[in-house]
A = this chain, B = another copy of it.
Amino acid sequence: MSNLIHDITGMARRAKKAARSLVTLSTEAKNNVLLHMATAIDEKREFIQAENKKDLTAGKEKGLSPAMLDRLELSDRVIESMMNGLHEVAMLPDPVGEVEKMVRRPNGLMVGRMRVPLGVIGMIYESRPNVTVDAAALCLKAGNAILLRGGSEAIHSNRALASVLQDALQSQGVTADAIQVIPVTDREAVNIMLNQEEYLDLIIPRGGEGLIRFVAETSRIPVLKHYKGVCHIYVDRDADLAKATPIIINSKAQRPGVCNALEGVLVHKEIAEEYLPTLTAELKLNNVRLLGCHESVRIVADITPAMDSDWGTEFLDLILCVKVVDDIEEAFAYIDQYGSQHTESIITENYSNAQRFLNEVDASAVMVNASTRFNDGGQLGLGTEIGISTTKLHAYGPMGLEELTTKKFIVYGQGQVRS
């Protein structure tokens, strides 16, 4: 067995042992640890930023883009935001121990379902070192141990943050093995991690589509993920166009580089002549470039004809596809073909079309008269999130604390046997 396999297997084994002890940790104890972590990050700010500087310097030498360096930097603002995040997670209700659907069966057995932690979560992510703290906080609050493997660009930052978090755990009498960062960043470490089926219960990858596909194809452990967010808005014939435009602008332009940003607008043919010129003009004011179908180009000469490969593309940029559709059925078919089961929204004042859209569209969040940007754990009321799942097993949509737990059956008997 190579040293690397030996080391990572040892970490995974210790994580599982730690998870066993977290099951019985009280909510109060977990909250104390979280608040203590926030204080520790504040106190160790200089150390953390000095280590972060090493990553930033190396990143500049490697020629990382300004956007990537920005994501890498643990500025005072980012540190405050990590501290706030820890406070917020401490304030969220603890899902562990909640008992649902307790009923008395005909034979007198009391049967219920108790929320329990999943066990050990493996997190694989790229450059943002604040994920280390955010993910560790959520996993700890849900009673899970976490094994983190960040990108090589952030290795000094991640190790520094882990050591601060581990000190905080130990100062509160909790094992440091509850939060561990794998100190090796080559791909082989990921391979070994994805084979720890005996010790890890769930893998959550966050990053580009390439990383996520690699993880999904390699892992022997269940993976919760989304590859990409190709989100659409369908502007129905009965849309209130005064609502449509601000929603489309917000969905596309407020933050174009994220997964719940808009990539395509479908417009009902009977309002296209009236609406497309207005929409195009408004989008232009927001520097959004439009790629469209033949019909849309006929109506607005400013729209660039789309290529086949544009439909269903996640641009993550100020580019938007526009297509004129015959009816809601064609919108459904388009979303089925090009959507990524992430977020789909309809703009309509028509009651039946609103209900049909909510019932029939298959996506982790389906909306009426609202911006796609609302598909986010904080916005939808989960408090915060560890990621968004577009696969349907276990969780569909943003994953908060509850999605980091499972339910076991508990049975109170008085001597019953089965007949």
Contact = CB atoms under 8 A, between A and B. Distances in A.
Contacts of A394: 393-394
A24 B357 CA distance: 11
A247 interface: yes
Interface stretch (A265-273, A322-330, A410-418): A410-418
Nearest to A242: B415
A412 B415 CA distance: 49
B368 A411 contact: yes
A61 interface: no
B118 A247 contact: no
B409 A397 contact: yes
A225 to B, nearest CB: 11
Contact of A369 (B24, B373, B415): B415
A186 interface: no
A409 B251 CA distance: 17
Contacts of A23: 359-360, 362
Given A105-B381, A371-B416, A392-B201, A409 B119 contact: no
Interface in A337-365: 345, 354, 358-360, 362-365
Interface string A221-264: 01000000000000000001011001101110010000000000
Nearest to A367: B411
Contacts of A407: 396-397
Interface in A373-419: 373-375, 379-381, 391-394, 396-398, 406-418
Contact of A364 (B250, B358, B370, B409): B409
A116 B360 CA distance: 9
B418 A374 contact: yes
B409 A365 contact: yes
Nearest to A366: B410
Contacts of A359: 23-24, 97, 114
A220 interface: yes
B380 A417 contact: no
Given A246-B417, A418-B371, A418-B374, A391 B222 contact: yes
B220 A220 contact: no
Contacts of A360: 23-24
A397 B199 CA distance: 20
Nearest to A389: B406
A54 interface: no
B220 A217 contact: yes
A20 interface: yes
B220 A111 contact: no
Contacts of A247: 415-417
A201 to B, nearest CB: 6
A360 B24 CA distance: 7
Nearest to A364: B408
A393 B374 contact: no
Nearest to A251: B417
Contacts of A364: 408-409
B20 A336 contact: yes
Q: Which 6 A-B pairs have the closest CB atoms?
A: A370-B413, A250-B417, A243-B415, A367-B411, A373-B418, A365-B409
29 contacts: A20-B336, A23-B359, A24-B360, A105-B381, A109-B370, A109-B374, A111-B381, A119-B362, A119-B392, A202-B393, A222-B391, A243-B415, A247-B416, A250-B418, A254-B417, A367-B413, A368-B411, A369-B413, A369-B414, A369-B415, A370-B411, A370-B412, A373-B418, A374-B411, A374-B418, A375-B409, A380-B409, A393-B393, A393-B406
Given A366-B410, A366-B411, A369-B416, 10 more contacts: A24-B359, A105-B381, A201-B393, A254-B417, A365-B410, A369-B415, A370-B415, A370-B416, A374-B411, A397-B407
